[in-house]
Structure 1
Amino acid sequence: MPWLVMAALLGLALLSAALTWAARVYALRRQLLDQPGERRSHSVATPRGGGIAIVISLLVAAAVAACVWPDAAVSLAVASLGLALVAGIGWWDDHRPLPAMRRLLVHFLAAALLAGLVKMHGGSWLLSLLVLFFTASLINIWNFMDGINGIASSQAVIVALGFAMVLPWPYSLVAIVLGLACLGFLPFNFPQARIFMGDVGSGALGYAVAVVLAVAAVHTDINWILLLLPLSAFLVDAGFTLLARMLSGQRWMEPHTQHVYQRAVQAGASHPQVTGMYFVLGLFSITVFNICTNLQPRWEAAVAVAWFAALTLLWLLLRNGLRHR
């Protein structure tokens, strides 16, 4: 990798860190604070909105990439517009809470933009529909899972690392840039949280992860089910918790503390311990992912199904065990 590219990538991480510091100053000045409560996992009022640093860093990287690769400018602009839409509605919600349906409409609009890009770049209608579904889902999953210090950004780093190793150059830069933007934010949020990501960051981060997933779906031959492995820790915890809430008649969009990671904190584990456990699980998932990417498609799918079945069993065991503590 040329030294100029390495320097630019280091600069991106530093930019993210500087913007996070600035976001904290802004949040303190505006009294933009998350207060402790029954449905929260922190005990002191903490500034929020630091995820805007990740968003701006990604938009700057996209602008630079458009200058370096003019043929990709339109695609980068469309993806950036989707990111800005999700971040914008999240920023608004951080300052003045919005109805859930209004947020979801914006999320689906952004997801439709990304699905359209997939179709434009040769993806099938089925793949485009899958991208639409998973993009809208990931925006909300990252929001649901952003409940303890460092968990949302560290899992995005795991996803970025997993895909950076399988994507061809220069598409791997999409994953690398995401990981570095998160690394710039992470020291302000882990192990002690000096600022939270906020909806502006968590939703946008889910969208950015979806962009990396979509790029991998279009530019690799990896079975789409196997492509979900780097995201599996969040998909299983968020997906099955959501399903359990729906089946029990609860309002799934309301804040709650029923995810396994939240129950672990309630049971006495510290934020760093739980985030660390999810990080280790993520490392296992991307290891399995990278080992299996050269298998025949049917075996890639079989491995993925087996992995998700194992994680589902683990989720059930942990959920039931933590319920009785």
Structure 2
Amino acid sequence: MEIYTLFLLISLAFLFSYLGNLFFINYLNKKKVLDLPNHRSSHKIPTPRGGGIPMLLSFFIVSFIAYLFNTFEFDIHFYIGLFIIFIMGSFEDFKPMSVKLRLFIQILVSIYIIIIKSPFLTFPLPEPFNFNLNYYIAFILNIIWIVGVINIYNFLDGIDGYAGLQGIIVCISSLLLFSPNENSITIYILLFTLFGFMFVNFPPAKIFMGDAGAYGLGFIFAVLPYYIFENYSTGVFTVSMFLWFFLADSLYTIIRRLKRKEKIFDAHRSHLYQRLNILGWSHKKINLFIIPLMILLSGIQIINSYFNYKFNLLVFIVAVIIFFIFAAIVIKLEKINNPQI
């Protein structure tokens, strides 16, 4: 693809996302369609939500333009799956949907993608834990992976800039691994729609990403291993490293809530990044603390890729150690702030 064509596409992606969000912010403010603060919120000022709608609409539009330019291999199944998740999230941005219906839609879309692409058949952890899986067990684990990442991404979209910056890290890391290839243009377009969105979402946010954007990004990153990796299990592990703080924070929080006999599906502010916010850390400070750790771990896995992923086990151990140091810091700060904890 010519550099001029790429420049045109990423410029359109940025402008459509940014200008679309400016229009949407103005519209939602006029209509008084705002996310009002409550006891579970991490914000104090009524703010529009749904910034992911113009962001992903921009992604769809520019992807179609790229298709017209014949610049990449257009996988209709990926866009069908993403569009269904996008519509589901768009509805939920303005009217709550039942958990059962939401999960039903997500599971159906996951099954659709897995049937089209086939499932990973070895457990996506480093040796010696990468054992072969029975096909049906593997199929179920693939569903859990896709549905899990979709929802985790939404759960972790709780402070200004956090989910957007995580998305930028995944996009840049993926491009460093595989650019140029037939899927690079898709990632470039997504990256620059995220850049456009970040101009209105970086703390203090003028608009929140909302469910359409968070579910949509979760879906894209969950299915990324099936599109850019020859070995899906290696792909799932690598994307897990790019998303490590989202995934580990969610798993840690679920285990902690189960130990405390709390209902894990009830709304809460128990994630580690939320606990920092409760301690008085600003959204910007939390981002400046966690994002460099995300970049560090993603960089380590990118370096590992140049050694044909021979050091996956070491990377995994480092990831676990970094996360538990992070968790220990949060717990220590809580004890300093409240010695009775």
TM over 0.5: yes
Q: Which has the larger radius of gyration?
A: 2
- 8 A Cα contact 1:174 1:212, kept in partner: no
**Which residue of structure 2 lines up, in the alignment, with residue 45 of structure 1?**
46
- 8 A Cα contact 1:225 1:304, kept in partner: no
Structure-to-structure mapping, 1:160-239, within 5 angstroms: 160-168=171-179, 169-218=181-230, 222=234, 224-239=236-251
**Which residue of structure 1 lines up, in the alignment, with residue 132 of structure 2?**
none
- 8 A Cα contact 2:87 2:212, kept in partner: yes
**Which residue of structure 1 lines up, in the alignment, with residue 273 of structure 2?**
261
Identity of aligned residues (%): 23
- Aligned counterparts of 2:120 and 2:69: Cα–Cα separation in 1: 25
- SS of the aligned residue for 1:48 comes to coil
Structure-to-structure mapping, 1:1-325, within 5 angstroms: 2-69=3-70, 72-73=73-74, 75=75, 77-119=76-118, 130-168=141-179, 169-218=181-230, 222=234, 224-297=236-309, 299-324=310-335, 325=337
TM-score (norm 1): 0.89
- Aligned counterparts of 1:219 and 1:8: Cα–Cα separation in 2: 30
- 8 A Cα contact 2:241 2:301, kept in partner: yes
Q: Offset of 1:101 from its aligned partner?
A: 1.5
Question: Where do 5+ consecutive residues of structure 1 fail to align?
Answer: none
Q: Deviations over 1:296-325 (max 9, x none)?
A: 44x332123213321342243134224322
Amino acid at match of 2:116: L
Q: 1:194 to 1:227 in 2, by over 3 A?
A: closer
Q: 1:301 to 1:36 in 2, by over 3 A?
A: same
Q: Offset of 1:129 from its aligned partner?
A: 5.2
Amino acid at match of 2:164: S
- Aligned counterparts of 1:205 and 1:133: Cα–Cα separation in 2: 16
The alignment of Structure 1 onto Structure 2 pairs a total of residues equal to 320
- Aligned counterparts of 2:72 and 2:214: Cα–Cα separation in 1: 30
Q: Which has the higher helix share?
A: 1
- 8 A Cα contact 2:37 2:44, kept in partner: yes
Q: Offset of 1:286 from its aligned partner?
A: 1.7
Q: 1:243 to 1:214 in 2, by over 3 A?
A: farther
- 8 A Cα contact 1:142 1:202, kept in partner: yes
Q: Offset of 1:131 from its aligned partner?
A: 4.2
- 8 A Cα contact 1:50 1:201, kept in partner: yes
Q: 1:18 to 1:213 in 2, by over 3 A?
A: farther
Amino acid at match of 1:6: F
- Aligned counterparts of 2:21 and 2:50: Cα–Cα separation in 1: 9
Question: Where do 5+ consecutive residues of structure 2 fail to align?
Answer: 122-134
TM-score (norm 2): 0.86
Runs of 4+ in 1 over 6 A off after TM superposition: none
Q: Offset of 1:35 from its aligned partner?
A: 0.9
